[in-house]
Amino acid sequence: MSQRAPAANNQHQDAEEEAGGSAFAIASLPSEVHLHILKHLPRYDIDNCKFVCKRWKEMIDRNKHSLRKHVVQAVELREYKSRFILTLKFVSSLYSLMQ
């Protein structure tokens, strides 16, 4: 048995006590709630959420049609030593696109 398990339990109990006993695991929320939250995140954060766990990755991949997409701001094509280099610059948010 690992020595870290009791420490993790203590940290969870401490967080629960600080929250007045109302702390809960985000994993206990239904997938529909996770998806609703993800719809409000920028694409960069959605991509990072895919690394949280297998369940989140699968949920994001299944619902990618309804989540924010990357928006390309600029495309640059250069030739370098008889090869072409394609560079894409993405918009970090739609707000920066409107300015």
92 assigned to some structural domain: yes
6 assigned to some structural domain: no
Q: Which residues contact 74 (CB under 8 A, 6 or more apart)?
A: 87, 88, 89
Residue numbers of the domain that contains 77: 69-99
80 assigned to some structural domain: yes
Give the pLDDT confidence score for residue 90 in this predicted structure.
67
Mean pLDDT, the chain, integer? 73
Rounded to whole angstroms, how far apart are CA atoms 27 and 29?
5
The answer on pLDDT for 54 being more than 80 is yes
12 assigned to some structural domain: no
95 assigned to some structural domain: yes
52 assigned to some structural domain: no
Q: Are the C-beta atoms of residues 93 and 42 closer than 8 Å to each other?
A: yes
The answer on pLDDT for 96 being more than 50 is no
75 assigned to some structural domain: yes
Q: Give residue 36's region: left, alpha or beta (phi > 0; psi -120 to 50).
A: alpha
Least confident of 5-9, 27-31, 37-41: 5-9
Number of structural domains (the chain) is: 1
63 assigned to some structural domain: no
**For residue 50, how many other CB atoms are within 10 A of its CB?**
15
Give the pLDDT confidence score for residue 95 in this predicted structure.
45
Least confident of 24-28, 34-38, 69-73: 69-73
Q: Are the C-beta atoms of residues 71 and 93 closer than 8 Å to each other?
A: no
